[in-house]
Amino acid sequence: MIEIDEQTLMAFADGELDAAAAAEVRHALEHDAALQARLEKLNEADGQLRAAIAPGSDIPSRFAQLLKPAAPAFKLRHAWIPASAALAAALAIWVTSAVLTTPTAWIQQTDQGLAIAGPLADAAAKTPSGTTFEAGKLRIQPVVSFTADSGRPCRDLSLRDGERTARVIACREAQSGHWIVEAMASVPASDPGAYRTAGAPRNAIIGAALTSLGAVAPMDARQETDAIARNWAAK
Amino acid sequence: MTSSSDDLRRDIAALLPRLRRFGIALAGSVEQGDDIVQAAIERVLVKSDQWQLGTSLESWTFKIMQNLWRDELRRRRTDERKQALNSAATDDMVDGSNVAESMLMLNKTRACFTQLPEDQRLALALVVLDGQSYRDAAHQLDIPIGTLMSRLSRGRDALRRMMEDEKTPPMVTVYK
């Protein structure tokens, strides 16, 4: 049996061995249960560390303020729409397959652009952040509410089924009452630290959208409760 | 304000999760880590004309964060430093009301990690947390790859021993 020392095993786990050396370790792993256990322990410890040293899922307002683009917000907003359309289509398929018993549309076309609909819109309108709205197998959890630069109320929603997670940012148009999709992204649900903290793993697309919308200060619980009570109409 | 300034802000925004993770690894707590990240971003934005094209923005920002943290440590006396590291274990880095056993384990992991020597913590931060190659991490830390591997190995071993040691001080977790 080939003896694999700790540094070699570590370099293997870190993807740092050349092809020949990695093949040697893989071969040894096939025949050595103790070596397999050592590797699993190493990977498990690394995973635990990654989960432990993870920032929270929300962007602190100080960073949103610091990194807020100086360009006019409308330019950024329209830049998001084509990307959102493709992602919306993908998400529509995803949520439809996740909730076969719920034929309701989740995304609809409106004059203002793509808008969330059905249970997703209900969750955006009525569910406080941090609590879960369940629709079939799908769990919808608003992560945070904020007021965009444009004055529109916006919500960051996390959607989960057993294996997958997606994030949607939607902002409410005052006249129509539609929650217009500003950004969508699939996010990994494999990071237990981020996953548990607020049900909303971080994502560059969502983070950039929050920044571009001017999500400087999230609503606190009282402001959000008031907004839900008046159906998100302006004061 | 130029569009390149906006581009830089967007690039930094995309890097923010990695910067914040590195900040926690450096300082041992979310709050102090974010302080370093904020100071580094401010410095990057002010000194963006000094950023050499062709060099990595993340590498430059990481380096600034390291320097800021070293400056901070110099200002502190040793006992203050220990206090800061110990208090990191009680920082509430989570929102939410569900107290799960696994979360306690995560807090214990973080507390043990903050007790590692800084050279080992930085090696683990760059390779394990940030996913950098040995070459890039060694370059970032200005050390040979062999030294990096040694620090990684010792850091992982120390972390494992601390996690297995039942005498590790109990972790107090504050949930909001």
Domain boundaries defined on chain B: 1-88, 92-176
Give domain limits for chain A.
6-52, 61-229
Averaged pLDDT for residues B44-57: 77
Over chain A (235 residues), what is each successive 10-residue block's mean pLDDT?
86 92 92 92 90 77 77 34 48 48 66 85 88 79 82 87 79 90 74 34 68 72 88 85
Q: Dihedrals φ, ψ of A155, to 5°?
A: -135, 140
pTM comes to 0.52
Q: Which residues of B touch A192 (CB under 8 A)?
A: 102, 106
Q: Which residue of chain A has the CA closest to B93?
A: A56
Q: Of the candidates B42, B100, B152, which has its C-beta nearest A196's C-beta? A: B100
Q: Which residues of B touch A45 (CB under 8 A)?
A: 156, 159-160, 163
Better pLDDT: B175 or B171:
B171
Q: Rounded to whole angstroms, what are the CA distances from B83 to B77, B87, B89?
A: 10, 6, 10
Mutate one of B20, B32, B114, B175 to test the A interface: name it (highest A CB count within 10 A): B20
Q: Which residues of B touch A11 (CB under 8 A)?
A: 134, 149
Q: Which residues of A touch B17 (CB under 8 A)?
A: 55, 202, 204, 207
What is the least distance, in Å, from the CA of A176 to any CA of chain B? 31
Better pLDDT: B33 or B83:
B33
pLDDT digit string, tens, across residues B90-137: 444 434 334 445 567 778 888 899 899 999 999 999 999 998 999 999
Residue A173: what residue type?
E
Q: CA-to-CA distance for A179 and A228, rounded, in angstroms?
A: 14
Residue B91: what residue type?
D
Q: Do A71 and B3 touch (CB under 8 A)?
A: yes
CB atoms within 10 A of CB A82: 9
In this structure, whether the domain defined by B1-88 belongs to CATH 1.10.1740 is answered with: yes
Q: Does B37 touch chain A (CB under 8 A)?
A: yes
The lowest-confidence range among B32-46, B70-84, B130-144 is B70-84
Q: In this predicted structure, what is the pLDDT of residue A74?
A: 31
Q: Which residue of chain B has the CA closest to A44?
A: B160
Q: What is the 3-state secondary structure (H, E, C) of B58-105?
A: HHHHHHHHHHHHHHHHHHCCHHHHHHHHHHHCCCCCCCCCCCCHHHHH
What is the least distance, in Å, from the CA of B60 to any CA of chain A? 17
Pick the CATH number of B92-176 from 3.50.50.60, 3.30.470.10, 1.10.10.10, 3.40.50.170: 1.10.10.10
Q: In this predicted structure, what is the pLDDT of residue A28?
A: 92
Q: Does A68 touch chain B (CB under 8 A)?
A: yes
Q: Is the pLDDT of residue B76 over 80?
A: no
Structure tokens at A218: 């999230």
Mutate one of B5, B7, B9, B12 to test the A interface: name it (highest A CB count within 10 A): B9
Q: Is the pLDDT of residue B66 over 80?
A: yes
Residue A224: what residue type?
E
Q: Which residues of B touch A69 (CB under 8 A)?
A: 6, 9-10
